[in-house]
Structure 1
Amino acid sequence: MDKYYSYTDFLKAVGQSKKVNEAEKLLNEIYLDLFLNRIQRTYREEQLVVLIDQALDEKDECAFHLYASELEMLHRDASE
């Protein structure tokens, strides 16, 4: 996730009764950021699978290792 969202900041926003909209805005921003990151990661994974297939078809071992390692890193980052 590109941005850091503090649970403390969220609770402060929620705790301010006159500023309920601030808490909703913060929560919406968090969900939007998560959603966009998920879309970007999924799209890149799909690209990498195509590139890996091409590298295999062309017997390009260097490209295969490059794309496979990037795909592995994406999967590792997603599982954390």
Structure 2
Amino acid sequence: MDKNNFYANFSSAAGSNPAVNDSEKLLNEIYVDLFLNRLQRLHRIEQLRDFIDQALDERNEEAFHKYAKELNELQESLN
């Protein structure tokens, strides 16, 4: 079987059940959304750690408490 026929057969087989494809697409979108949200939270945690370090270096107690509170909330949401 040549490559073009394989892709044509695969495409027609994959498109033969639209309900399954819609379900798979929805699941894929959900997984991607969850993955991206987790990445964003992890990135924000790293940012907050840097901000906390900076606040400590500058002896800025208000900023420290602000960033530490947000960091704790984010870490709890990941568990």
What TM bracket, shorter-length normalisation?
0.7 to 0.9
How many residue pairs align between the two structures? 63
User: 4+ runs of 1 displaced by more than 2 Å?
Assistant: none
TM-score, normalisation: structure 2? 0.76
State the Cα deviation string for residues 16-35 of structure 1 (Å, max 9, x = none).
Answer: x6511011101101110111
CA distance in 2 between partners of 1:39 and 1:18 (Å): 31
The Cα of 1:63 is off from its aligned counterpart by: 0.3
What is the RMSD computed on CA atoms of the aligned residues? 1.0
TM-score, normalisation: structure 1? 0.75
Query: Which protein shows a greater Rg?
Result: 2
Match of 2:3 in 1: none
Gaps of 5+ in 1: 1-16
Gaps of 5+ in 2: 1-16
CA distance in 1 between partners of 2:76 and 2:47 (Å): 17
